[in-house]
Chain A
Amino acid sequence: MKFAIALVVASLLQAAAPTKLIPVDEVGYSKTLAANKSKVVLVNFWATWCEPCRKEMPVLAKMAAALKPKGLELITIAAEEPEDVKAAIAFLVKAGIPDPAYLKNAKNDDKFITSIDAKWSGALPALILYDKAGKKVKSWIGESDLNVIEAEIRKLL
Chain B
Amino acid sequence: MFSRRAAIAAITGAACTFGAEPMLVQDPGGKQTSIIPGKEVTVVTFISTQCPISNDYNDRMSAIYKDYSVKGVKFFFVNANSTEPASVVAEHSKSAGFPFQVYKDQNVADRLNAQVTPEAFVFDLHGKQIYQGYIDDARNAARIRNNGLRDAIDAALAGKQAANPQTKAFGCTIKKARRS
Contacts and interface: CB of A to CB of B under 8 A. Distances in A.
Interface stretch (B32-40, B67-75, B100-108, B166-174): B166-174
B9 to A, nearest CB: 10
Max chain B CB contacts within 10 Å: which of A81, A110, A120, A143?
A: A110
Contacts of A125: 173
Given A122-B116, A123-B116, A109 B53 contact: no
Q: How large is the interface on B (under 10, 10 to 19, 20 to 34, 35 or more residues)?
A: 20 to 34
Given A81-B140, A109-B137, A141-B115, A114 B168 contact: yes
A141 B170 contact: no
Interface in B36-91: 50-53
Contacts of A120: 168
Contacts of B51: 49
Given A114-B7, A118-B6, A136 B1 contact: yes
A118 B139 contact: no
A41 to B, nearest CB: 15
Contact of A124 (B119, B167, B172, B175): B172
B177 interface: no
Interface in A111-157: 113-114, 117-125, 136, 141-143
Q: How large is the interface on A (under 10, 10 to 19, 20 to 34, 35 or more residues)?
A: 20 to 34
Contacts, number: 57
Say what secondary structure dominates the interface of chain B. Answer: loop
Contacts of A113: 168
A79 B7 contact: no
B10 interface: yes
Interface in A15-67: 49-52
B116 A50 contact: no
B167 A117 contact: no
Max chain A CB contacts within 10 Å: which of B1, B51, B175?
A: B1
A110 B167 contact: yes
A115 to B, nearest CB: 9
A141 B116 CA distance: 11
Max chain B CB contacts within 10 Å: which of A50, A51, A122?
A: A122
A36 B115 CA distance: 31
